[in-house]
């Protein structure tokens, strides 16, 4: 039996990994920004309400420019909170479950060890606050919703730290990278693979099942941005100088962002 996923997002790294890996009984109907602007809540509701044969809705959209969000809070909240809220309400009305992707940046990083799903949240900036608002809206308005918090996603697709380092390596002889944040770098392909492996089962689960709610979904291992950059250069640019440390960016970021 084929499970059909209506996916918001078609060009970002996670969206593309989902499309690349969809097979074995899972079909994805991906909606790009040109198809549906997630800041248009009426358009979001129509897309879900009018879609044919949908078993599951997957939200792969996000406003992820952490520093830029400080000067564009309205847009960050529109994409990260109000759009997902509209999806959740439409899913509840139609009776289909929803998967929403969030971030470990809903935490302040003050905990000495990895965060778990029951830990108190305390975002330090607009981006984290907007993502937390999205989480809360999804869980409030859809009783069959899974919110997966991820950390430092990277992929061969889209805009991410891995791709940024490879591009900068071609234009700058010596890079300076911050070393004040630690997290669990996570392959978008692994997140996509897990979601696809669970799609059919999740599409059939009733409200109240323990699988619904919050889930921390990350790869094993902890690194700083600086350590990650060094590893990228060692593997992909072994003939170039390794990056050095740099001051922190303007938006306050949690010093420890590891979730498990």
Tens digits of residue pLDDT in 103-129: 999 999 999 889 999 999 999 999 999
> If you average pLDDT over residues 3-24, what whole number do you get?
96
Given a contact cutoff of 8 angstroms between Cβ atoms, the answer to whether 141 and 85 are in contact is yes
Q: What does the pLDDT read at residue 249?
A: 61
Q: Give the whole-angstrom CA distance, residue 49 versus residue 223.
A: 42
In the structure encoding, which two tokens stand for residue 255, read together?
A: 């010093």
253, pLDDT greater than 80:
no
112 class by beta-carbon count within 10 Å (0-12 exposed, 13-18 middle, 19+ buried): exposed
Residue of 63, 77, 115, 127 marked catalytic: 127
Query: Is residue 68 exposed (0-12), middle (13-18) or buried (19+ Cβ within 10 Å)?
Result: middle
Which residue ranges make up each domain of the chain? 3-156+184-222
Instruction: Choose from 19-33, 161-175, 229-243 the range with maximum mean pLDDT.
Output: 19-33
Report the SS3 class of residue 103. strand
The pLDDT of residue 186 is above 80: yes
Mean pLDDT of the chain: 93
**Confidence category of residue 241, pLDDT binned at 50, 70, 90:** confident
Q: Which position has the higher pLDDT, 195 or 169?
A: 195
For 131-150, the pLDDT digits (tens) are 999 999 999 999 999 999 99
Q: In the prediction, which pLDDT does 254 show?
A: 62
Name the CATH topology of 3-156+184-222. Answer: Rossmann fold (3.40.50)
State mean pLDDT over 7-36.
96
Of the candidate ranges 52-61, 76-85, 138-147, 230-239, the one whose mean pLDDT is the lowest:
230-239
pLDDT at 45 over 70: yes
In this prediction, residue 251 has a pLDDT band, given cuts at 50, 70 and 90, of low
Of residues 165, 38, 47, the one with CA closest to residue 101:
38
Question: How sure is the predictor about 178, in pLDDT bands with cuts at 50, 70 and 90?
Answer: confident
Lowest mean pLDDT of 67-76, 171-180, 197-206, 248-257, name the range: 248-257
Whole-angstrom Cα distance, residue 166 to residue 233?
8
Can you give 153-169 as a three-state secondary structure string?
EECCCCCCHHHHHHHHH
| pTM for the full predicted model | 0.91
Sequence-distant (6+) residues with CB within 8 A of 159 are 12, 13, 64
Q: Is the pLDDT of residue 169 over 90?
A: no
127 is catalytic: yes
């Amino acid at each position: 039996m084929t499970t059909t996923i209506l996916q918001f997002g078609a060009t970002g790294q996670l969206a593309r990994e989902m499309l690349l890996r969809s097979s074995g009984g899972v079909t994805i109907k991906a909606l790009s920004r040109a198809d549906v602007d997630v800041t248009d809540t009426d358009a979001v509701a129509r897309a879900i309400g009018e879609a044919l044969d949908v078993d599951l809705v997957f939200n792969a959209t996000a406003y992820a420019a952490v520093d830029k969000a400080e000067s564009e809070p309205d847009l960050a909240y529109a994409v990260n909170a109000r759009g997902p809220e509209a999806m959740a309400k439409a899913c509840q009305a139609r009776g289909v479950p929803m998967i929403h992707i969030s971030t470990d940046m809903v935490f302040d990083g003050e905990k000495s060890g990895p965060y778990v799903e029951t830990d108190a949240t305390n975002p330090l900036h607009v981006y984290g606050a907007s993502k937390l608002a999205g989480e809360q809206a999804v869980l409030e308005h859809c009783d069959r919703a899974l919110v997966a918090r991820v950390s430092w996603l990277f992929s061969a697709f889209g805009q991410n730290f891995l791709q940024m380092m490879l591009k900068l390596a071609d234009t700058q002889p010596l890079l300076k990278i911050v070393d004040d944040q630690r997290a669990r770098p996570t392959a978008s392909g692994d997140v996509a693979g897990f979601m696809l492996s669970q799609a059919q089962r999740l599409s059939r689960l009733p409200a109240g099942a323990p699988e619904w709610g919050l889930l921390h979904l990350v790869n094993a291992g902890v690194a700083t941005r600086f350590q990650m950059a060094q590893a990228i250069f060692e593997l992909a640019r072994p003939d170039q100088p390794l990056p050095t440390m740099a001051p922190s960016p303007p938006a306050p970021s949690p010093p420890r962002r590891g979730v498990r």
